[in-house]
Amino acid sequence: MFRLFLVLLSYLALEADEGVVTRQKVLMGTFVTLCVESTHKELIEPSFEVLGNIDKSLSSFDRDSPIYKLNHNKSAQLDSYSYEAFQLSLEYYKQTDGYFNIAIGKITKDLYRFGQDERIATKKELKAASTNMNGFEFSRDKAIITGDIKVDFGGMGKGYGVDKAIAFLKEHKVQKAIVALSGDICCIGNCKIAVNNPLCEDMPLATFTLKNSGVSTSGNYNRYVKEKKYNHLINPKTKESASNFLSVTLISKLPSATLDAYATAVSVMPKNKAYAFLDLQPLAYIILESNKSLHISQNINDYVDNLKCK
């Protein structure tokens, strides 16, 4: 989803900051920051182009995107990005027992209308809305909606974009870089991260150093309609906005798309199920529950250095 919860304290843990070039643009509905060692600064604009192409592929707002056409015409030709995103979405749906679900679009796009003419959905509307993942079919070249659903890749799209930009930089032998799409960040080399605190804007919830890893944060306090109880993190099973967690931060060497999808799913799971799921994954977590209690996984030091919490 649209997340503005992670802030880079410093872009790379380098002895000479002047060896780093940083650029920022608005893409995929958020601020995108690219930080690359100066010897490879010519790769910054091509990296933005990669992210721009993914935005054109997965956007549900761009009238030329396959996803917009699919949602409005019930069928669309897929490109390589949208096809892969569909494949991944099915994997994440199965892995999370259905809590990650791209068929949530009927609620996010038609009822709450997040990102455009926002409104509060009624209980009657939510009850009638379908989130059935069997409501579409796809092949390498084409997708068809067969049920009364709409597709929304917001729960993994930014992480997917991070993966593609990082892969592009690695293909060109970059040794030190950061790609950051609001709450989804991946580092080549070292980087220092601060997680925003939902309870205090002036003090980070946690700070730490990453090396060749990614981080994804999801929260229910930053994007909502009128009241926080009508936030953008929708449980596809109950069709209600998430309320158990204020902030979920996941840290791992897993692909950023995976971390993004897992953070989205965990944010809407029941508490016991969320922790049970996370304990089976190769990742660490920092979670602030709605009761203001902070939970940090026991394996956190396997994934970060110099951890400091509020």
- pLDDT value for 289: 94
End-to-end CA distance of the chain: 25
Q: Highest mean pLDDT: which of 3-7, 96-100, 115-119, 190-194?
A: 96-100
C-beta separation of 149 from 263 below 8 A: no
Paired with 195 in beta bridges are: 6, 206
Determine the Cα angle at 276 with ends 263 and 86, to 5°. Answer: 40
| Whether the predicted pLDDT of 104 surpasses 80 | yes
In sequence order, which residues have a C-beta less than 8 Å from that of residue 83 and are 6 or more positions away? 138, 140, 141
pLDDT of 18 reads 60
Q: Are 247 and 289 in contact (CB under 8 A)?
A: no
Q: To 10 degrees, what angle do helices 66-73 and 44-58 make?
A: 10
- Residues 3/157, Cβ–Cβ less than 8 Å: no
Domain 55-145 has CATH 3.40.50.10320: no
**Angstrom distance (rounded) from CA 21 to CA 36:** 5
Confidence class of residue 110 from pLDDT cuts 50, 70 and 90?
Answer: confident
| More confident: 310 or 156 | 156
Cβ atoms of 287 and 263 closer than 8 Å: no
Note the pLDDT of residue 199: 82
Domain boundaries, given as residue ranges, for the chain: 6-41+162-309, 55-145
Widest distance between CA atoms in the chain: 59
Return the closest-CA partner of residue 217 out of 187, 242, 249.
249
Residue 101 has pLDDT above 90, yes or no: yes
pLDDT tens profile 231-289: 678 899 998 888 889 999 999 999 999 999 999 999 999 999 999 999 999 999 999 99
What percent of the chain shows pLDDT beyond 90? 72
**CA angle 6–275–101, rounded 5-degree value:** 70
Highest mean pLDDT among 1-5, 44-48, 113-117: 44-48
Alpha-carbon distance of 217 to 264, in angstroms, equals: 9
Q: Which of 93-102, 121-130, 188-197 has the lowest mean pLDDT?
A: 121-130
* DSSP summary character for residue 241: B
Give the separation between CA 57 and CA 63, rounded to whole angstroms.
10
DSSP H helices, the chain, are 44-58, 66-73, 80-95, 105, 123-128, 157-171, 256-268, 271-278
SS3 306: strand
Which of 30-39, 43-52, 92-101 is least confident?
30-39
Instruction: Give yes or no for a contact between 9 and 193, defined as CB atoms under 8 angstroms apart.
Output: yes
Q: What is the pLDDT of residue 226?
A: 59
At 204 the three-state DSSP class reads coil
Of 115, 118, 150, 117, which is closest to residue 30 (Cα–Cα)? 115
What integer is the mean pLDDT of 57-75? 96
pLDDT confidence of residue 10? 44
Task: Identify the band that residue 171 occupies on the pLDDT scale cut at 50, 70 and 90.
Answer: very high
Q: Is the pLDDT of residue 225 over 60?
A: no
For domain 6-41+162-309, the CATH architecture is: Roll (3.10)
pTM: 0.93
Q: Which residue has the tokens 């919860």?
A: 5
pLDDT at 5 over 60: no
The answer, yes or no, to whether residue 116 has pLDDT greater than 60, is yes
DSSP code for 104:
G
Q: Which pLDDT value is given to residue 1?
A: 37
Beta bridge partners, 215, equal 185, 251
